[in-house]
């Protein structure tokens, strides 16, 4: 095999890559490393603007596989129309579960226990005591129960929760319990103390969290978003935050990055982290393992993992 493979990680830094392909390093530089028309396997640069990752796709007339290093694929979907039929789009299932699960738990605990208030008080030398909500005995609703949603529940398990409810696009049963369809959200939301969003961004989930969704949440509930910013209608969320009825912890926002003067920064009861669910020390080892496995499968003509869609199908 002499096809080109474009990698956003220098190939010499990835131990175990199969022999055969011509490995080209490209992480978004202005100049392409080779002719895009000769690329057969394209790994999209990670944590780059969507337009940058999409830029070579119209010229990749021979590409067979597009591999993201993110769990979501919404940042490349607009350019798939330029690709020939039969191209497999694969995501990074297995790479981000640990980091995103950790951050989700961090955001929940920090919000409930008032950690941002303590940090501000420390800056002023103030001893800020008093009772705070605990995660123990709370009811949690996970909206989006793929591998990341399941990893979040794994990390919630030791916290003596009263209940965990799970919602996904399709109804099913797991070892931990039933997964409810999205249509049951109006009945589940009023019971949840913490609502976690870990769903992919699709046409069905864009602004899923709108005024009606938020109105179903109980007073004092915490909304946590580790999915995509556009899953939430920001204007509707702002109205609820400013009324003081609910609180929120957001790793993703719409727009993103959040402009300096955006009112969400100053809304009461909100904790914002700058989309850091995935980029941790856990990322590179898992990303490299995924790429070695996928490329070994590709070279040996074995079925690929994590195929989300095939163009023209």
Alpha helices in the chain (DSSP H): 50-54, 97-113, 115-123, 147-156, 185-188, 211-216, 234-243, 283-299
1 pLDDT exceeds 70? Answer: no
275: pLDDT strictly greater than 70: yes
All domains of the chain, ordered by start, with CATH? 4-95+281-307 (3.40.50.720), 97-272 (3.40.50.720)
Residue 188 has pLDDT above 70, yes or no: yes
Q: Output the average pLDDT for the chain.
A: 96
Percentage above 90 pLDDT, the chain: 98
pLDDT, average across residues 303-311 = 97
DSSP 156: H
Q: List, for residues 165-179, the tens digit of each pLDDT value.
A: 999 999 999 999 999
d(C-alpha 182, C-alpha 180), whole Å: 7
Q: Is the pLDDT of residue 9 over 80?
A: yes
| CA nearest to 1, candidates 297, 270, 291, 269 | 297
CB within 8 Å of 300: residues ≥ 6 apart: 18
State how far the Cα of 12 lies from the Cα of 299, in Å rounded to an integer.
18
Percent of residues, the chain, with pLDDT higher than 70: 100
With a cut of 70, say whether residue 135 has pLDDT above it: yes
Give the residue among 273, 259, 262, 221 at the shortest CA–CA distance from 238: 262
pLDDT digits (tens, 9 = 90+) for 253-272: 999 999 999 999 999 999 99
**Residues tagged active-site:** 228, 256, 275
Structure token pair of residue 63: 């590409």
pLDDT at 242: 97
pLDDT in tens, 97-133: 999 999 999 999 999 999 999 999 999 999 999 999 9
Pair type for strands 307-310 and 88-90: antiparallel
Q: Please report the pLDDT score of residue 156 as a whole number.
A: 98
**pLDDT above 90 for 313:** no
3-state secondary structure of 142: strand
Q: Got the DSSP string for 227-242?
A: S-GGGB-HHHHHHHHH
C-alpha to C-alpha distance for 83 and 97, rounded to whole angstroms: 29
What is the tens place of the pLDDT at every residue in 41-80? 999 999 999 999 999 999 999 999 999 999 999 999 999 9
CA distances to 9, 141, 163, 250, 267 from 240, rounded to whole Å, are: 42, 19, 25, 14, 10
pLDDT of residue 278: 92
What pLDDT shows up at residue 213? 98
């Amino acid at each position: 095999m002499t096809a080109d493979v474009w990698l956003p990680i220098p190939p010499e830094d990835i131990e175990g890559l199969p022999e055969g392909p011509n490995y080209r390093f490209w992480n978004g530089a202005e100049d392409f490393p080779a002719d895009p028309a000769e690329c057969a396997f394209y790994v999209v640069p990670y944590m780059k603007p969507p337009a940058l990752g999409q830029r070579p796709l119209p010229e990749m007339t021979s590409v067979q596989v597009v591999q993201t290093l993110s769990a979501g694929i919404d940042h490349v979907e607009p350019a798939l129309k330029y690709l020939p039929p039969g191209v497999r789009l694969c995501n990074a299932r297995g790479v981000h579960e640990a980091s995103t699960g950790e951050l989700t738990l961090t955001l929940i605990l920090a919000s409930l226990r008032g950690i941002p208030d303590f940090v501000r008080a420390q800056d002023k030398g103030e001893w800020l005591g008093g009772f705070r909500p605990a995660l123990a005995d709370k009811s949690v609703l996970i909206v989006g129960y793929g591998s990341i949603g399941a990893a979040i529940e794994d990390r919630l398990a030791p916290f003596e929760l009263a209940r965990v409810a799970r919602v996904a696009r399709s109804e099913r049963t797991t070892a931990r319990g039933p997964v409810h369809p999205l249509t049951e959200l109006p009945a589940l939301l009023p019971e949840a103390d913490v609502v976690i969003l870990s769903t992919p961004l699709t046409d069905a989930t864009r602004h899923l969290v709108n005024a009606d969704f938020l109105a179903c949440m109980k007073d004092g509930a915490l909304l946590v978003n580790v999915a995509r910013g556009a899953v939430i209608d920001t204007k509707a969320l702002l109205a609820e935050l400013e009324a003081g009825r609910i609180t929120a912890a957001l790793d993703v926002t719409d727009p993103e990055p959040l402009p300096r003067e955006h009112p969400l920064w100053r809304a009461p009861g909100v904790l914002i982290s700058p989309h850091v669910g995935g980029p941790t020390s856990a990322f590179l080892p898992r990303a490299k393992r995924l790429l070695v496995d996928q490329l070994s499968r590709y070279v040996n003509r074995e079925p690929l993992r994590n195929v989300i869609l095939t163009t023209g199908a």
